[in-house]
Chain A
Amino acid sequence: MKIIAGCALILMVICGNVLADQVIDHKEWISSFHSANEMYKQGKYEEAKDAYESLLGQGLVSANLYYNLGNCYFKLNRLGKAIVNYERAKQIIPLNRELQANLAFVHSQLENPPGQSQSLVKGILNLSTDSFTIDQLTIIVSLFFFLSAGSSGIKLLSKREFTWLRRTALTSFMLLLLFGALWGWKIYQTQVLKYGVTIMPQAECRFAPEETAVTRFRLSEGAKIIILESDGQWLHVKSGDNNIGWVQKSMIEII
């Protein structure tokens, strides 16, 4: 019992340290953030945008910073850049109502709003994972791992057979598998696959990474694409309707 209590204490200390690493106090950064907000409120969108961008340049991010920057770009009528920043914010606060509303509204303003062409399985997986951030899924998976292993360990240690303990171990193990799969899918979608958004009014996708190559299709502003590879100043991209072509890097911003 003492050993278990000791382990729990060590665990709490380590978890505390891990979580503390995630939250850092940066007074100066916060002060600059508020200054940028003031500029936005005064209608100085260009200045506010620059101020937010400089905060990003310091290597620190927050969902609200991306959100506010997205708003600036929208006010400057740069819908592609607005979508990029909203998508970045979505990776941190996927269920935020204001963010969802703004993203939907900007999409509705596009010349070609995104379609919904994806398989049922992919759709379900994306719907499930879009509700969580990577860190949230990581914590959920870890908790179910602890619960599953803890209940299994206690079951082994206990001299009596407790039905609730067996059910807890089994249920938590099943949930561990489920959320583990979602966690893997989320990491694949956000860390392995590279997404980008067209930030120019129109981007020509060509057959080859050359200025003189023939245009295969065009991407309109705000179109979300998958980046397959990079070659110098060119990106090999796949559009939402599965067209593949080469587009200049300057036309696309990676999310």
Chain B
Amino acid sequence: MKRASLAILLMTFFVYIEPAIAKDIQVDLQVSSNELEVGESTELYLVFNGGTDMPAPQLNDINGFSCQYLGPATQFSIVNGNYSKTVTHQYQLIPLKAGRFKIGPFSFSFNGDKFTTSAVEVTVNGQGQGSSSSGPATTQQPGKVRNDEELKDYVFLKLSAKKNKAYVNERIPVTIKLYVRQLQINGIQSLSLNGPGFVKEEFTKPKQYRETLNGFEYAVVEFNTNLYATNDGQIVIGPAEMNCSALVVYKQKQNRRHSFFNDPFFDNFFGGAQQQSLKLISDQLVTRILSLPQEGKPREFGGAVGNFALRVTGSPLKVKAGDPITLRMEVSGEGTFDSITSPELVNAENFKLYKPEVKNNSGIKSFDQVIIPQTPEATKTPKVKFVFFNPAAQKYITLEKEGIPVSVSPADEKGAKMVDSSPTRPFTSGKSEGLGRDIEFIKDDPGEIKTSGVYLYQNGIFWLVQFFPIIFVTLAFISNRQRARWSNDQTYARKLRAPKIARAGLKKAGALLRQNKTAEFYNTIFKTLQEYLGHRFGRPSAGMVSDIVEDLIASAGLDAGLAVKLRACFSDCDLARYASARIDQNMMSGTLKNLEEIIEYLEKNKS
């Protein structure tokens, strides 16, 4: 009972109290800044104290501003048992023209309640100093999209390289700067830097800052990358190309040269802003690329260009002969990491060497080389040698790391065996295998001789043969369908059997004719005729008498002469039964001929 009372109480709360709360909602209108410049955004907040389920109101028609909904925020609080809820809808406002604007009051209706907001005043100043010469488009007509040429003083790309002379494969840091003033860039769709003769790294995350150039302050977005020239000679870098969209502020140049309003302030006042897609193209750069000097080039040089350091570590350093040691060689520094090859191992006679595992992290390329000491005489890991070309010093530099002392104890037999049977096929620094192995001897017999590059699947006859199974399956399928029809469609099956019955009957009748057995002959003729016609027309054979057959012939639209012949045939049979003395050999021949013609006609006209 108590539970039922509580449920009713709660239902009463949600059904009646909740709408009562909604009626007390107060709506505040706030902006984050009351003074703005054209193109500078601010936030507008609609604060519903007391909360509401009302969807975000649309604020599309705010004079002088473009407005975009950003999202809601809900806040709950319970103080001294009192529950309160605040819903705030947030919008972004971008002023489109200069002036003094009043935003609000706005009215909304929801669930029968009417909400009215307060109002705020916002002052929008023209950009920069308010001079007509400082705007990006003093001659622009409202609503007309400006071309990129007119905007080049306000948004442009600048391409620069830190070096105008470099060696092949030397890193060339390149910077692309996007300069913007009095515009708002809303998005960058693409940035590309192309040209022959170099490879490029990915662009790093762009930096943003402000920079003064030619007396103007610009917002700058800086993109950095590195290039590596692949050939010597002169290479052309760029141009860099960027596709972006911008909010372009324009000012309406009024035709009021001598009017009272001939003042830059009013140009700003009557201006506006518009979204526009821009394609920005930078200048090109020409860089001279020098080939690496051949003089003093060490044999071990693998193509690394830059300034590097080498670090070598090994573990474990106390092993049995045949146990692996991992030698980690880390090359760090600045330069072309892609072209760094594994450092050379010198004095590795006492070791078996495996192919190193290469890892390329940012700024460090590491080579994990597995080396296996073969004898306890191996007291040091091999010496490591790494050669690179230093462009600053303009010479080849060889870094050498002495071998790390190791303690190698003799291997037990089992351990040594395990290493020999390793599936990863170690290789020795020399060519001698020392295991008594050699290649298998040549083959005396030439084996199967065939024409070079000819395969069975290229043979046309082979593909012809493959059609046989297809034909076989197709025929089997047709046969299967035919058989199914035979067993399911009796009329069809009888119709197909009719000629066979006719042939057998005619053959028997012919024999009886020759033996001059009149009664048997006409019995056979009658029986053959009945059975054939029964099968032919899908009727019971016993019911095939003259009148019925004539009706069937007439309904099938067959020749009327056929009916006459049939009637004659049936009459002959009747005559033979009741007055056989009147029948002679000629008449029997005539009857047989008559029956043959009937059957022949019906077989020719099956449809």
Interface residues of A (CB under 8 A from B): 3-4, 7, 10-11, 14-15, 17-18, 21-24, 26, 29-30, 33-34, 37, 40-41, 56, 59-65, 67-68, 71, 74, 92-93, 98, 101-102, 104-113, 115-116, 134-135, 138-139, 142, 145-146, 148-150, 152-154, 156-157, 159, 187, 207-208, 210, 212-218, 241
Contact = CB atoms under 8 A, between A and B. Distances in A.
Interface of B: 168-169, 199, 230-232, 291-292, 302-303, 338-339, 341, 355, 358, 424-427, 431, 433, 437-452, 454-457, 459, 461-462, 464-466, 468-473, 475-477, 479-480, 483
Nearest to B470: A149
A156 B477 contact: yes
B234 to A, nearest CB: 14
Contacts of A150: 469, 472
Secondary structure call for the B interface: loop
A112 B230 contact: no
B469 to A, nearest CB: 3
B355 A18 contact: no
Contacts of A135: 455-457
B450 A149 contact: no
A145 B466 contact: yes
B222 to A, nearest CB: 28
5 contacts: A7-B468, A18-B462, A149-B470, A149-B473, A207-B199
A92 to B, nearest CB: 8
B456 A212 contact: no
Nearest to A52: B442
A67 B465 contact: no
B369 to A, nearest CB: 12
A214 B339 contact: yes
A157 B437 contact: no
Nearest to A154: B476
B440 A101 contact: yes
B469 A146 contact: yes
Contacts of B302: 215, 218
A115 B355 contact: yes
A24 B456 contact: no
Nearest to A48: B442
B444 to A, nearest CB: 6
Contacts of B442: 37, 40-41, 67-68, 71
Contacts of B469: 145-146, 148-150, 153
B439 A62 contact: no
A134 B339 contact: no
A216 B339 contact: yes
A73 B465 CA distance: 42
Contact of B447 (A10, A56, A62, A108): A62
A157 B442 CA distance: 54
Given A60-B449, A115-B355, A214-B169, A105 B476 contact: no
A107 B339 contact: no
A105 B470 contact: no
A149 B466 CA distance: 10
Nearest to B230: A207
Contacts of B232: 212
A39 B301 CA distance: 43
